[in-house]
Every structure is written in structure tokens, then in C-alpha cells.
Amino acid sequence: MRLIPLRAALALLLVAAQAAAAPTEISFARFFGSCEADYGNVTDPSQATGECGIITALVNKFNAAHRGDIVVRTQVVEHGSYYSQLGARIVGRDVPAVAILHSSALNDFVKRGLIAPLDQEFRAAGIDAGDFTPQAETAVTVDGQHYALPFDTHSWLWHVNVNLMRSAGLVRADGKPMLPNSPQQLLEQARRFKRVTGKPYFIWLTSNDPAFFPRTLLSMLRQQNGSLFPKDDFHIDLHSPAVRDTVTLLKTMYEEGLTSRGMDYGVALQGFAAGEGAVMVNGTWIIGDLLRQASQADSATYKGYTATPFPQLYAASAVWADNHVMVMLKGGTANAHSRAAAVSFLKFLYDEGGVWARTGQLPTRRSVIESAAFRQLPLRSEIATISRDGVALPIEVARQAIVGKTLGDALTAAIVYGADVDKTLAAAETSINRMLARDAQFNGGALRGAIAK
């Protein structure tokens, strides 16, 4: 009879020991696609390529280094549905420990009480916020506190076919393309290029890409020291002279055939590869792919590709930029152990910022931007200024995805389809301001209640 309690006690001790030995699991919600078949066992990020490959290898490296202690379980969500699924998970109390966001979406989560400041965790883990680049510091700071770890800076670039520019006599003696430094010079060069080559100067993403024109408008507007929100964070201004002049310039280039027509994202990439235009306005994230393309003898950019930040056409140097940031959502960790594990994962990602820069995105740490290892990567010295000159909508502006979509639809209607500029922009301004006014009255609803302590 005495053996039964003893055996039970031993069994309980065994279960307790096994539980104590089990690693702490944390979930990591991200996009960037799934590539487990290619990189599921890769623990050396230098052996991976592309955003999906490198982030997969980074997580594998962390798990290998913390085997038996911490396990990061990646939860991949398709990019287009990421935020809707994340919101649904928060409401359903299935909250990931660490989640990736765009900095343009960060304040929506902050003001609904879904995340808390991380300054204390940064100090404890040795994450030096003083090393953040100026652009990254702005991207994660709300009311003077850091609510996220900046993971990268991504931005607009001019991807240039130097071979075509040379054929139009638009290359300097050092072999670099001539870039305009004023709106007038931009028109002159674009017109010359088309006259000589018969091709449009620009490859634009004018089909199914409502972000293209708002990013371009913001870049050119901020170069004029203008703002889309000059009054406050609840009223967009689309009737200023700077906005009107910029839209008129873009419309003129489109109407004169200085830009491609009807190209979506994929078709634009194909068009640039085929030499259908000199300059493709697109993101930092395709540098690696275009460099590989330029190494192929059958490519129109063979030994003739470069990339540069958006040229300075006005008084100031500025270009649209956004960030991928890492946040810790409230309710995503069950106890102090899992929270500490999540913070250690953030510290790991902070330390590996130079590795992620191989994707074409810029690091968010000054020390990495200034390092020889980063500067030795192709074209990185040329685009490093984005860490200083990158601009975005004020982080306090709510619902930036909707703001951008509404503005993008209006700009496309005016520039591509010939709608009246003044009427179209006035209607977009009214729509956006009404939406922001409604949002200002929103108290967080179900999302706030879902994570209330």
C-alpha cells in the first residue's frame, strides 16, 4: 500500500522534471512567404537569399543557438491578408508573442492599447536605441517612447538601365547616369531620351498598385518642404500649390508618353529586364534580383545597372520610406519566461541587422550603416543616405493604409485616366478627412477589450 503513493510521487516528479526541461515556445507572426522546402534546415543566413530565405535562416539560427531553451515557432501569413488575420487573432485571443508590422501601421496598434513601450526591455537586453538611424528612430517612437524594434528601412529607388541612358547621351564621363536636379531638367532629359530611343524614360507601376503615386507624391512634396498634414494629424491637405504642381508634373510626363502605360508590378519588372524604359521607380527590396539579372549576358541591363535614391529635384533631399518593425503584442506571452524569451529573440534580430541588409533593405542601426561590411555590399554606399533622408506620413496619422489607398486611387484617376485634378483631389481630401474624424472617436472597441488585463 505504501508503494502506490511513492510511485505516484515519482511520476509527478518525472512530469515536473520534463516540464522544467521543455523549451519555452514563442510564436512569431510574419509575412515574406514560405520557403521551408529550400531553407527549412539552413542555419547559416549567408547561405540564403531573398527575404523569405534569410528570415527563415535567421529563425533557424536562433533556434539552433537556443536548443533546449527557446523555440521560435514561425507563423507565416500571406502579405495581403496579414493585418486582417492579425486583428482577428487578437480578438480571438490567439496572440503571437512577436509580430512584424510596418511602421506606418504601428500607431494604430499603439493607440488601441495593443502594445506597450519597450524601453525597459531594450535597456535590460542591451538594445541601444541610441544606435537607431534617424529615420528608424522616427519610425518606432510614439510620444517619446519606443514601441517597436526597427528591423529595416525600405524605400523608393530609381533603378537605372545605364546601357539605355548611354544610348541617349545621358551618361557622365565616369560612366554614371546623369540625374536631373530640377523638375525642368527631369522633363528635358525624359523628352530627350524618348526622342533618341523611342522608348519611355520611366517604367511606372500604374496598374493595380495604388501605393505608387502616393509614395512618389510624398517624396516630391517633402523635397519642397511641404506636408500632406500641415495642420494636424486628422486633416490631409491636397489643395496646396506644391501638391497641385507635383500632380501636374506627373500628369504631363504620363500624357507625353514619357512613362510606360498599363504596367502592374510583375509586368514592370519584366519590362525593365527587357529594356523597355530607362528608369524603373521601385523599392530597395529588388536590388539583389536586379543585380543578378545584370550579370546575365542576355539581359538588357547586362553590366549596365545601378540604383540611386530618388533624385533631389527641389530644395531638400527626401524620399518616401517605411520600415518593417518587430512588436510584442499584449497577451502574446503567458509568463515572465516566455516574455524574456521573446525579448531575447528581439535582441538577436537587432544583432543580425547587417545580415538582413543583404535583402536590399537598409539596416536601422548607425553602426551597421557605417560598417565596412555593409558598405562593401553592391550599391549600398549609394543608397545609405535614405537612413537620413527617408520620410513618411507623421506616425500619428491613423489608418495610413486606407489613406494611401484613397489617395492612390485619386491620383491614378487624375494622372492616368484624365479625371479633373482639382475635383478628384478635393473628393479624396473630403473622404480621407471624414474617415480620420471617425477614427478619432474610435475607442478601440473589440480589439482593446480582447487584450484588457
The stretch 272-299 carries a mean pLDDT of 95
Predicted local confidence at residue 194, as pLDDT = 98
Q: Is the pLDDT of residue 33 over 90?
A: yes
Average pLDDT value for residue range 350-378:
92
Residue 283, pLDDT > 90, answer yes
Q: What pLDDT does residue 12 have? A: 57
**Average of pLDDT values for 280-303?**
94
- pLDDT confidence of 232, banded at 50, 70, 90? very high
| Arithmetic mean of pLDDT, 49-55 | 93
Task: Using pLDDT thresholds of 50, 70 and 90, give the confidence band for residue 451.
Answer: very low
Question: CATH says 22-153+322-385 is which class?
Answer: alpha beta
The band of 441, judged by pLDDT with boundaries at 50, 70 and 90, is: confident
User: What mean pLDDT do residues 234-241 have?
Assistant: 96
- pLDDT digits 0-9 by tens, 116-147: 899 999 999 999 999 999 999 999 999 999 99
Write out the chain in H/E/C secondary structure: CCHHHHHHHHHHHHHHHHHHHCCEEEEEEECCCCCHHHHCCCCCHHHCCHHHHHHHHHHHHHHHHCCCCEEEEEEECCHHHHHHHHHHHHHCCCCCCEEEEEHHHHHHHHHCCCECCCHHHHHHHCCCHHHECHHHHHHHEECCEECCEEEEEEEEEEEEEHHHHHHCCCECCCCCECCCCCHHHHHHHHHHHHHHHCCCCEECCCCCCCCHHHHHHHHHHHHCCCCCCCCCCCCCCCCCHHHHHHHHHHHHHHHCCCECCCCCHHHHHHHHHCCCCCEEEEEHHHHHHHHHHHCCCCCCCCCCEEEEECCCCCCCCCEEEEEEEEEEECCCCCCHHHHHHHHHHHHHHHHCHHHHHHHCCECCEHHHHCCHHHHCCCCHHHHCCHHHHEECCCCCCCCHHHHHHHHHHHHHHHHCCCCCHHHHHHHHHHHHHHHHHHHHCCCCHHHHHHCCC
Residue 6: what pLDDT? 60
Distance from C-alpha of 238 to C-alpha of 227, rounded to nearest angstrom: 9
With cut-offs at 50, 70 and 90, classify the pLDDT of residue 446. very low
Model pLDDT, residue 22: 85
The pLDDT value given to residue 452: 41
pLDDT at 9: 59
Quickly state the pLDDT bin for 10 (edges 50, 70, 90). low
Domains 22-153+322-385 and 155-319+393-440 share a fold: yes
> What pLDDT, in 10s, does the model give residues 292-301?
999 999 999 9
Q: What would the pLDDT profile of 326-343 be if each residue is shown by its tens digit?
A: 999 999 999 999 999 999
Residue 280, C-beta contacts closer than 8 angstroms, at least 6 positions apart? 158, 159, 202, 203, 268, 269, 271, 272
pLDDT at residue 240 is higher than 50: yes
Grid cell for residue 300: 538588357
Q: What's the CATH code, domain 155-319+393-440?
A: 3.40.190.10
Short-list 125, 163, 177, CA closest to 146: 125
Does the structure show a pLDDT above 80 at 4?
no
Per residue in 59-75, pLDDT (tens digit) is 999 999 999 999 999 99
User: Strands 390-391 and 319-328: what pairing?
Assistant: parallel
For residue 284, CA distances in Å to 40, 80, 155, 333, 358 come to 26, 19, 6, 33, 11
Mean pLDDT of the chain: 92
Domain residue ranges of the chain, discontinuous segments joined by +: 22-153+322-385, 155-319+393-440
Across 293-313, average pLDDT: 96
**pLDDT confidence band for 13 (50 / 70 / 90):** low
pTM of the prediction? 0.89
The model's pLDDT over 191-212, given as tens digits with 9 standing for 90+, comes to 999 999 999 999 999 998 999 9
pLDDT classification of 449: cutoffs 50, 70, 90: very low
State the pLDDT confidence band at 80, using cuts at 50, 70 and 90. confident
Q: Looking at the predicted structure, is the pLDDT value of residue 402 above 80?
A: yes
| Percent of the chain topping pLDDT 70 | 93
Which residues, 6 or more positions from 364, have their beta carbon under 8 angstroms from its beta carbon? Answer: 132, 133, 135, 136, 139, 150, 151, 152, 153, 323, 353, 387
Average pLDDT on 382-388 reads 93
CB atoms within 10 A of CB 109: 23
> How crowded is the C-beta side of 447, counted as CA atoms within 13 Å?
19
